[in-house]
Amino acid sequence: QKEVEQDPGPLSVPEGAIVSLNCTYSNSAFQYFMWYRQYSRKGPELLMYTYSSGNKEDGRFTAQVDKSSKYISLFIRDSQPSDSATYLCAMRVLLGAQKLVFGQGTRLTINP
Amino acid sequence: GAVVSQHPSWVICKSGTSVKIECRSLDFQATTMFWYRQFPKQSLMLMATSNEGSKATYEQGVEKDKFLINHASLTLSTLTVTSAHPEDSSFYICSAIPSGFGETQYFGPGTRLLVL
């Protein structure tokens, strides 16, 4: 079993829809959670990070963490064609090794 | 802020040659940098952790003699793919953590390597 599971999609939704992207994890030592956006042939770009359960909002993006269920989500409101990209969840333990464990990434397409 | 650059952005080389890829943190110092490779439609696979002034820590299954990493300064890490073969063709991405703020990794734009 992978430490981090993420549905690779592809996911296709119409412009303006609310998008929900999810990851589950098995390692309870993970305390720090991130979402990255990666456009084709580019490096990942950090979108959101959080280390506590609950919601964190930044503009159209909301990151949600449920440590009891080992489940994290990223919501995108009022989705735009420019949001079309691959979204990667990543996580790490809070102390010690700084390396990230990534999900497989979900390919998202927003249709005009 | 927190910009990471990579050079070159793409490279084509002949089988058996060596290729060096540079990763620079442009506006911050980074004690720790990471090297990843990514195959098409797959996630990032960590290859090694690069620490300034010390030997890199390689992930299991990554050949340290093939993928040489040097982190000679707080703003520069290099990855050299030695005796490259077609199966080494991939997208190589580095990331860096600002020194003293060990929470967030900032990624470079990646280097696409094609070995003929």
Residues in chain A with CB shorter than 8 Å from the CB of B95 are 43
Nearest to A102 among B6, B44, B49 (CB): B44
- What 3-state class would DSSP assign to B29? coil
Distance in angstroms (rounded) separating the CA atoms of residues B98 and B110: 19
Q: Is residue A103 classed as helix, strand or coil in its secondary structure?
A: coil
Residue A18: C-alpha distances to residues A5, A78, A82, A91, A96 (Å): 22, 6, 14, 24, 36
Which tens digit of pLDDT belongs to each residue from B38-72?
Answer: 988 888 999 999 988 888 999 999 999 999 999 88
Structure tokens at A72: 């994290």
DSSP secondary structure letter of residue B59: P
Of B4, B105, B108, the CB nearest to A100: B105
Residue B44 and residue A44: Cβ atoms within 8 Å?
A: yes
Q: pLDDT tens digits, residue range A67-107? A: 999 999 999 999 999 999 999 999 998 776 678 999 999 99
Cα of B83 to nearest chain A Cα, Å = 24
B89 in contact with A, Cβ within 8 Å: no
Q: How many CB pairs under 8 A join A and B?
A: 48
Task: Determine the average pLDDT of the residues in B5-29.
Answer: 96
- Cβ of B42 within 8 Å of Cβ of A42? The answer is no
Give the chain A residue nearest B31 (alpha carbons): A98
Q: From the list A43, A46, A99, which residue is nearest B104 (CB)?
A: A46
Q: Which two tokens stand for residue B113?
A: 């390597």
Q: Is A105 left (phi over 0), alpha (psi -120 to 50) or beta?
A: left
pLDDT for A97 equals 65
- Assess B62–A contact: CB distance below 8 Å, yes or no: no
Judged against a pLDDT cut of 70, whether residue B33 lies above it is answered with yes
Report chain B residues whose CB lies below 8 A from the CB of A32: 103
Task: Select the residue of B43, B106, B112 nearest A102 (Cβ to Cβ).
Answer: B43
Burial of B85 (0-12, 13-18, 19+ CB in 10 A): exposed
Instruction: State yes or no: cis peptide before B8, omega within 30 of 0.
Output: yes
Average of per-residue pLDDT across B67-96: 94
Quick: pLDDT tens for A7-34.
Answer: 888 999 999 999 999 999 999 999 999 9
pLDDT attached to residue A98: 78
* Residue whose token pair is 């990543």: A90
